[in-house]
Structure 1
Amino acid sequence: MTGVRVVNTAQAEAWNGYEGEHWASHADRYDGVNGGFNPFVLDLVSPSDRVLDIGCGNGQLTRAAAARAASATGVDLSGPMLTTARARSAEIPNVTFEQGDAQVHPFPASTFDLAISRFGVMFFADPVAAFANVHRALSPGGRLAFLCMTALADTDLGRVFGAMAPYLPQPTGPDGTGPTSFADPSRTRAVLIEAGFESVECTHVEAAQTWGRNIPDATAFITNWGPVRHHLAQVDTETASRAREALTEALKPFETPEAVNLRGTAWLVTGRRP
């Protein structure tokens, strides 16, 4: 990341290492997991909008936004995923991608009308500073709309990850950190209001998530996902085997003849720059 200012160094290392490589090389798989949530954000895009996609990853949402908007710019820490995003967007004239840490990236002031994200805002080192930077990049009256994880309790994903809990730590960490850093709507509202946003709302939404063609395929995919892979490497062979067996068993209720589908849950968070 030569020449790119980064304050979130741990995330930069992960997303330019194994984690980013795995997401880039399995772009279609991750879009199968998360793409069902796209309409909740895309329905808010207007034809005249200049869109900023924060944590754009492999760029599926950015491309879809560009099809509805005047332009779309994706920003992400991950070089591997941006390579995939650019390759898949080569024929789309109103899409651009930039590598950067959204917390400190030098966005031109008042440039965008809508800032969006699909599960790309949960890892900021300083979320207030990050959203204040996004706030500065929006034009007056500009809007914010992002998707983030809910708490895992009483969800399909919580049930699946919970099956491995006797053998491995939860791959998402405690609620309020990492992927579930915005699981509490009251905290989310407080962060965004401190960053300068108003009219903040958190709406619970659900979508189907496809994790694999069948149970062996889904098990392999989940156990090779960065956080699970990391925890499996920290335990002995027998414990790792039991964790995989528990995961396999937990996935069985979600298998259909076509795929392994879980019902995903998220918060759709919206706000506005005054």
Structure 2
Amino acid sequence: MSQPPNAQQAAYWNEQAGPTWVDMVDPLDRQLAPLGRAAMRALALRPGESVLDVGCGAGATTLQLAEQVGPTGRATGVDISRPLLETARRRAERLANVEFLEADGQSHPFPVAGYDALFSRFGVMFFSEPTAAFANLRRALKPGGRMAFVCWQAPAANPIMTLPMQAALAHVPAPPPAADPTAPGPFAFADADRLRGILDAAGFSGVAVRPHQEKIGSGDLETALTVSLKVGPLGALLRENPDQRDAVIAAVRATLSAHDGPDGVKLDSATWIVTANNPG
């Protein structure tokens, strides 16, 4: 029997990445918050609207969206990671205009024309069938409804994602290159032309992909070091090369310390702010 769409991602975000993100939720929210706000500005929510937050994770963005639409609006977060949703629900337990769904945005039967707006902060790059996923999400938008999300540009443009690994590679072998750079993962939408094509094919109109650059960080040096070692492929490399752990940690700390300042460690990020509409 074949697996359902995104089964591999569901397993990953429930068994591996989800628990790690729960442990690191505050510094990760701190790091990604400025980029989420950039996409929220592009979405320009209004009081009373209903908004769907795709890949909501631990719910920080959903709570911000709920504040923007106010008590007469509604914010719904959807994610496939139960550990992250448990954190999200605890954060929102006293809010009447917030709800969370444990579901796959690629295939979940959302109410047709049920939302005024759709938002995502790095939650839409993991679909196994992105065109079908965005077509499903578009159907959940009202005619004239709008979408805004933020996703990563190429790895080479994102020291925030790659610099710790570069420091570590002086002591451990490089992981094998990705067989398919467009496969589900953080950088699946690095190619802006491919991204436009997916959204056009899914039926969106007025697709715009705007570059956004900003220095971001998770906190002080020790916090940044901990995030670098726990989140992403570097942690796996350390587990595979335990004899080099001390050397890798020293190298990553030295690299990050060069970017430490009054506001903590800040590194360059490069993202796309993507907007589109449901033509109805």
8 Å CA contact 1:6, 1:12 repeated in 2 = no
Instruction: Determine helix, strand or coil for the equivalent of 2:261.
Output: coil
Alpha-carbon distance in structure 2 between the residues aligned to 1:164 and 1:232: 9
Which residue, out of 252, 255, 269, partners 2:257? Answer: 252
Deviations 1:118-165 (A, max 9, x none): 011111111111111101111111111110011122443233433334
Runs of 4+ in 1 over 6 A off after TM superposition: none
Instruction: Determine helix, strand or coil for the equivalent of 2:68.
Output: coil
8 Å CA contact 1:6, 1:104 repeated in 2 = no
Deviations 1:141-191 (A, max 9, x none): 111111001112244323343333453546995743410000111010001
Q: How many residues align?
A: 268
Partner of 2:248: 243
Partner of 1:63: 63
Partner of 1:123: 126
Gaps of 5+ in 2: none
Instruction: Determine helix, strand or coil for the equivalent of 2:251.
Output: helix
Alpha-carbon distance in structure 2 between the residues aligned to 1:135 and 1:31: 27
Per the TM alignment, residue 258 of structure 1 is displaced from its structure 2 partner at its CA by 4.3
Q: Alignment identity in percent?
A: 35
Q: How does 1:49-60 map to 2 (within 5 A)?
A: 49-60=49-60
Which residue, out of 228, 232, 235, partners 2:238? Answer: 232
8 Å CA contact 1:163, 1:247 repeated in 2 = yes
Partner of 2:34: 36
Partner of 2:203: 196
TM-score (norm 1): 0.90
Q: Which moved more, 1:188-197 or 1:22-31?
A: 22-31
Give the direction of change, closer, same or farther, for the CA distance of 1:171–1:206 in structure 2 (3 Å limit): farther
8 Å CA contact 2:24, 2:227 repeated in 1 = no
Per the TM alignment, residue 9 of structure 1 is displaced from its structure 2 partner at its CA by 1.3
Give the direction of change, closer, same or farther, for the CA distance of 1:156–1:26 in structure 2 (3 Å limit): same
Per the TM alignment, residue 236 of structure 1 is displaced from its structure 2 partner at its CA by 5.0
8 Å CA contact 1:219, 1:247 repeated in 2 = yes
Alpha-carbon distance in structure 2 between the residues aligned to 1:141 and 1:159: 41
Instruction: Determine helix, strand or coil for the equivalent of 2:200.
Output: helix
Per the TM alignment, residue 6 of structure 1 is displaced from its structure 2 partner at its CA by 5.0
Which residue, out of 182, 196, 200, partners 2:189? Answer: 182
Question: Superposition RMSD on alpha carbons, in Å?
Answer: 2.1
Deviations 1:41-76 (A, max 9, x none): 222212232100000001111111111111110000
